[in-house]
Amino acid sequence: MKVITFDDIKKLNISPVKCYEWVEEALMHKNEAILPAKISLHLENDAFFNVMPCLLPQQDAGGVKVITRHIGRVPSLDSQIVLYDYKTGTPKAIMDGNWITTMRTGAVAAHTIKTLAVKDFYEIGVMGLGNTGRAAMKVLLAMYPERPLKIKVLKYKDQHELYTKYFKGEDGKNYPNAEFVYVDSYEDVVKGSDVIISAVTYTDDDFCPAELYKPGVLVDAVHLRGFLGCDLAFDKVFCDDDAHVCKFKYYDKWKYHAEVAEVITGRAVGRENDSERIIAYNVGLSMHDMNFANKVFELCGNAGTDISLDPPTDKFWV
């Protein structure tokens, strides 16, 4: 069994486009995955332990990811993945899950935009500027290297400046197709936007009344909160897995809903016109984690550290 660290994975220089392709691949084969709903153990102060198992028979792989959140820890989120051989149950690797979690989440967000946004989307409102928000924009810009885009970034401390500098570079010349502008409020993010990417991790209230969202908008709710009014007002709701959203407050009142995987495989309709208002809730699936982990394991080759837990080899050992 290998131990694969965060640095081992980063050194592979996996491209944002490759991340997008891995997400698409997993969604195309979602029906073949053995994918129970995640187990969430919630603690005080918004801390949690989430346990996320999945088996991918078609890849001879499977395993479990544990992701934790503890306020005061830097970063507050941390995760680890144990990857197994599906046929034998032999552990193949234990690896850091932070890069995989962040990049697969960003790639899923970009995939949702490509699948459900109006085809000529131009104005993108962005709020939540941490690693996940950066990953989503990184993959999206890689998928649309020439399309003119206006990206409205919500001001927050100095994060809006750091976010823009990350993409545009010190000289401001990176991504010449993308214009980054700062806005002062949630309302400014929402008004006029064709796409809204929210990676805000916590809020008690809705960001805006539903009537402020323009016809044709896609809300990509990466971290889910802040859009209850949209659930009731919007034309369609999409998700990554129905079992993960069936207990949402207004689930039974959604006008139409389906999984994104059903859309890309032709088993459900997606956007049907440019006036539909759509919201997407991608809760996060261990299917993507295991797919990414298995790809990373294959790419690592001789990288990582070989270890053995020296399990018993005799049938009777007590």
Task: State the DSSP H helix or E strand holding residue 233, giving kind and residue range, or none if neither.
Answer: helix 228-233
Nearest to 201 by CA among 102, 53, 285, 65: 102
- Pairing label, strands 61-69, 48-56: antiparallel
* Separation CA 13–CA 251 (nearest Å): 39
Digit-coded pLDDT (tens) for 91-100:
999 999 999 9
Examine residue 316 and state whether it is found in any structural domain, yes or no.
no
What's the pTM value of the predicted model, to 2 decimals? 0.95
Give the pLDDT of residue 316: 96
Which residues make Cβ contacts (< 8 Å) with residue 181, sequence separation at least 6? 150, 151, 152, 153
Binned at pLDDT 50, 70 and 90, residue 236 comes out as very high
Range of the domain at 65: 2-101+286-306
Question: Percentage of the chain with pLDDT > 70?
Answer: 100
Give yes or no: residues 24 and 162 share one domain: no
Binned at pLDDT 50, 70 and 90, residue 105 comes out as very high
* Separation CA 57–CA 33 (nearest Å): 7
**Direct distance between the N- and C-terminal alpha carbons of the chain, in angstroms, rounded to an integer:** 25
Length of the chain: 318
Q: Based on the structure, what is the number of domains in the chain?
A: 2
Give yes or no: residues 274 and 183 share one domain: yes
Give yes or no: residues 162 and 276 share one domain: yes
Examine residue 313 and state whether it is found in any structural domain, yes or no.
no
Give the pLDDT of residue 76: 87
CATH of the domain at 198: 3.40.50.720
Examine residue 225 and state whether it is found in any structural domain, yes or no.
yes
Give the pLDDT of residue 112: 98
Digit-coded pLDDT (tens) for 276-295:
999 999 999 999 999 999 99
Examine residue 317 and state whether it is found in any structural domain, yes or no.
no
Which residues make Cβ contacts (< 8 Å) with residue 245, sequence separation at least 6? 239, 251, 281, 283
Nearest to 116 by CA among 27, 195, 215: 195
Give yes or no: residues 39 and 157 share one domain: no
Give the pLDDT of residue 224: 86
Give yes or no: residues 122 and 19 share one domain: no
Examine residue 135 and state whether it is found in any structural domain, yes or no.
yes
pLDDT at 204 exceeding the cut of 90: no
Give yes or no: residues 66 and 145 share one domain: no
Give yes or no: residues 20 and 134 share one domain: no
Binned at pLDDT 50, 70 and 90, residue 3 comes out as very high
Give yes or no: residues 162 and 76 share one domain: no
Give yes or no: residues 296 and 273 share one domain: no
Give yes or no: residues 71 and 123 share one domain: no
pLDDT at 44 exceeding the cut of 90: no
Give yes or no: residues 121 and 69 share one domain: no
CATH of the domain at 74: 3.30.1780.10
Give yes or no: residues 116 and 90 share one domain: no
Give the pLDDT of residue 160: 97
CB of 275 closer than 8 Å to CB of 257? no
Digit-coded pLDDT (tens) for 152-173:
999 999 999 999 999 999 999 9
Examine residue 230 and state whether it is found in any structural domain, yes or no.
yes
Examine residue 8 and state whether it is found in any structural domain, yes or no.
yes
Distance, C-alpha 129 to centroid of its chain: 14
